Amino acid sequence: MQFILEPISPREYEGNIIFLYGNEVADRALPLSKKELEYLKARRADKADAIVAFDRLPYHLYIVNFDSEKPSSECQEQLRRSADKVVAMLKADKQTAVAVTGEGVIPEEVVAFLEGLVLADYSFDRYKSADAQHISSVAVENAFLSQDELDKNMRLWNRIFWCREWVNLPVADFNADEFASEIEEIANDLKVQCSVFDKKKIEALRMGGLIGVNKGSVDEPRFVVLEYKPADAINQQPIALVGKGVMYDTGGLNIKPDDYMQEMKSDMAGAATMASVLFAAAENGLPVHIVAFLPMTDNRPGFNAFAADDVLTMYDGTTVEVVNTDAEGRLILADAIAYAVANYNPELIIDAATLTGAAVRAIGTYGIAAMHQHADNPFNLLRIMGNQVYERIAELPFWSEYDELIKSEVADIKNCGIAQAGAITAGKFLAHFAKNTPYIHLDIAGVAFFSKKQEYYANGASGYGIRLLYAFMQTYGAIKNETK
C-alpha cells in the first residue's frame, strides 16, 4: 500500500474518496446534494458510525461517520473498525485506489483510520496461486499530516506487516536458524547491533532451558541479542525486551491433542513482536536504549527429548523440575531473562509470550493478560498506552502466595503449578529469574493469532502488542527526557 500526501478537494477530485465526517462542521465540504445530505444526516442520527456510500460513476464516495465528541481512544478505535468495513466495501466494488479527506478532523483521527486500512487490508498470500486484491494507493489530504509524520507511521506499520508474515509462516519453511538469519539481515541494514548464538555457544553459556527444550528437535536452537543504543538515549541502563521464539510447539513428550496442535507455528509471536518493536524504534530514531533477547527453538518429541521429571540447570544456576514438557516457553524465556539481568543490568524487563491457555480462558481474545513486580510506574504507563491504542492489558494479581505453587520437592522450582492460576504461576516462574529488576510479563496467547477474523485483524497473525510497546517507548522516552 502506497501513501501519497496531496491537496484533495472533495468536489473536484476525480477518483474514489473516503470522507471522514466527525461533526456538522463538515457539512460545508461534503460533495452532496441537499437530498443526499438529508439522507446522510438521517443515517447518522440512526447510527453515529454509519458508513454511507454514494455512486459517482465511475468512482465511489464513502462517508465515514464517527462521533468526534467521544473520548479520543474510543473515537480512534471506532475509526480503525470503520476502516475495516471500508476495506470490505472497496473490495466488493473492485477498487484499489482511494483518497482520504474530511473536515474538522484532527491528525490522530486520520492516522487511526489509515492504520485501520493497513491492518484490515493485510492477508497472508504467500502460498496462494491467485493474486489477492489489495489497496494499492491511498492519497491523503496534506493538511492533516506532514510527510515526516506519515513516514514514521508507515515504518511502524511495515514492521507490523513483517511480524505477521513471520508468525504466519509454517515451521517447514521458517525454523530458528532462518528466523535468526532474517533478523540479523534487517539489523545490519538498520545498523542495529546483532549477536546470533548457535547451539555450541548456547551450550557453552549453560542455558539449560533452551538446550533442554531443543533436545527433541533436528533443528538447532538460536539465541539472538539485538541492541539499539542511540547517541541521544535518555536511559543509560537499557530496557530489555524478551520474546518467546518457539518456532513450533508439539508439546514435546507431553504431546498436544490434535485440536490444540494447529496454529502452533504462532508460538514464536513473542520473539517476532519484540524484534519488530526494536526495529521500529530504531527506524524512527526513538531516544530509548533497547536490547531484545530472543531465544528460538521448536519443541518436538523426537531424539532424546526432555521429559517430565527431568531437572534442568538454567543459565543463572537455578534448578528446575520439569513437570510438563508443554510448559516449555517459560524455560527458554527464563534463560533469556537471566542472561539479560547478568550481562546488561536493565532498568526494566518486559517479556511477551504466547504462554498459556489460562490467559485466554481468563480474559478471552480482547487483550493481554499482564502482571508485574517492582514496576508500578512503567506498568501504569503501559496500561494507559494500551487504552489509548486499544491494545489493552488486564492486570492479574501477583501475590506472594502464588510462589508456593511452583516450589519443587526435588529442585529449586518446577516449571508449572496446579491447573488453577496457570497464567499467574507461569509469570511467577519467569519473575524468579528477573530477581529484583522491575519486570512486566505480557501473556499474548489470546491476541497474537486469531482463528477467525476479528475486527480489523484478519484470521492468522495479528501483530498485536507492537503498537502498544512502540507507544510505550515513545512516551517513556518523552517522560524520562522531561524528568532528566
- Active site residues per annotation: 256, 330
Alpha-carbon separation of residue 33 from 19, 27, 101, 268, 355 (angstroms): 15, 11, 18, 53, 55
Q: How many helices (H) and strands (E) does the chain have?
A: 14, 20
- Name the strands in the sheet holding 319-321, side by side, starting at the edge strand that comes first in the sequence: 311-313, 319-321, 413-414
Query: Cell numbers of 326, please?
Result: 508443554
DSSP 47: -
C-alpha cell at 182: 532474517
Residues 119 and 117: their CA atoms lie apart, in Å, by 6
Largest distance between two CA atoms of the chain: 80
For the beta carbon of residue 195, count every other beta carbon within 10 angstroms.
12
Task: Compute how many other C-beta atoms are within 10 angstroms of the C-beta atom of residue 18.
Answer: 26
Give me the sign of the Cα torsion angle 330, 333, 335, 337. Answer: negative
Residues 6+ apart with CB under 8 A from 135: 1, 87, 90, 96, 97, 98, 117, 121
Q: Rounded to an integer, what distance in angstroms lies between the CA atom of residue 380 and that of residue 95?
A: 43
